[in-house]
Amino acid sequence: MSVLERFLKYVKYNTQSDPKTGLNPSTPGQMEFAYVLCEELKAIGLQDVDVDENGYVMGFLPSNMEREVPAIGFIAHMDTSPETSGKHVNPQIIENYAGNDIVLNKEKEIFLTVEEFPELARYVGQTLVTTDGNTLLGADDKAGIAEIMTALEYLVTHPEIKHGKLCICFTPDEEIGEGPDYFDVKKFGAKFAYTLDGGELGELEFENFNAATAKIPFKGRNIHPGYAKNKMVNSILAANEFIANLPRKETPDQTAGYEGFFHVYSITGDVETTVVEILIRDFDRERFGMRKTVLENGVREFSKRLGLSIELEIKDQYFNMLEKIEAQYYIVDIAKRAMEDVDVKPQIVPIRGGTDGSRLSFMGLPTPNIFTGGHNFHGRYEYIPVPSMEKAVQVIVRIAELCSKL
């Protein structure tokens, strides 16, 4: 089965995760898909394949070498983003793309335009897979799963390619930050691993944000508005003033590259109580701490000045994997060489977000991230060039071969 055939099969499964269920995995579609992948791994020839109670699929391809070499891993996630529907995905195949705007949904007048997405020009003559404008596509990360599966099948049918033990895991709930929650690193048994969860052709990532969330409840006092002078304390206005005092140039829409930000992503409430939720992001650990201090000082100052009860709860989410990977940089060099060997130019870029590998690296499993080939994840404009998926398969095979020489 080709990588395209697998991908088209996988996107038909609705595996959208849900942060509100409190379940593991968070949605039943992920468990259904996990059992499908489990059977496919067995059919390819992997050993000790199973799905655990939390929806993690693991399997192992034994070494075909006489001498012992380190076991390595490949990881991808099964869920799709909660931000856009993943139900009834209906992919469109654009063969021999001509460089024009692509009609995703004529009825709704939804177009994938070259003006808005100029990188389309790089894929003239290639086959693209797009959405029909109603859902996301699911390349994040079903393309990664399809690429790993296809590479495994190739290795099994080409025993002349030497490799050590390959450890495979497909995880649930990455999109809601819970992918590594029940990941059994000891059972997995790899010395290091790679996630197939990146974007366009050539992306190689081993730096990501340090990340935290801040929750700030503002407590006001409600009085009948006709008699409220010098009595009412409107928590909505207080919250609004607090937000307005955050650094305006340090928001997602004003930053790129290695720049961090504050992202106010939720405001709910009324006069009595308003809750503001903020994402804190920075690549540098010291600046990350300074951002927390900015919020702490702001809450303290506002509470004193306005006479309000304002609380602040900050929770760390994940840290920059570079801290764990830089001491073992050879695993990045292996991925770079694998790409170069199959005529892919490595694009080393920071992840302005996180992956399962972010937390896994701090759990003792260093895990850089490799491209899948997709663009515009999490929405109706998502698409993926088929040749990029085919190159990802070649990179996986080459990494396995290079690691046999360690």
Q: How far apart are CA 377 and CA 138, in angstroms?
A: 8
What are the DSSP E strand ranges found in 52-190? 57-61, 72-77, 92-94, 102-105, 110-112, 128-130, 166-171
DSSP string of 85-119, one letter each residue: --TT---EEE-S--SS-EEEETTTTEEE-TTT-GG
Q: Answer yes or no: 174 catalytic.
A: yes
Take residue 240 and report the two structure tokens written for it. Answer: 């609004």
Residues 6 or more apart in contact with residue 78 via CB below 8 angstroms: 15, 25, 30, 33, 34, 37, 55, 57, 141, 142, 145, 170, 171, 172
The tokens for 166 are 């390959």
Strands 347-348, 203-205: pairing is parallel
79 in active site: yes
- Cα 139 to chain centroid distance, Å, stands at 11
Question: Active site residue: 40, 79, 141, 147, which one?
Answer: 79
| Tokens encoding 94 | 């654009």
Which amino acid, residue 113? T
Three-class DSSP category at 173: coil
Q: Which of 40, 140, 153, 174 is catalytic?
A: 174
In angstroms, the CA 91 to CA 76 distance is 21
Catalytic residue numbers?
A: 79, 174
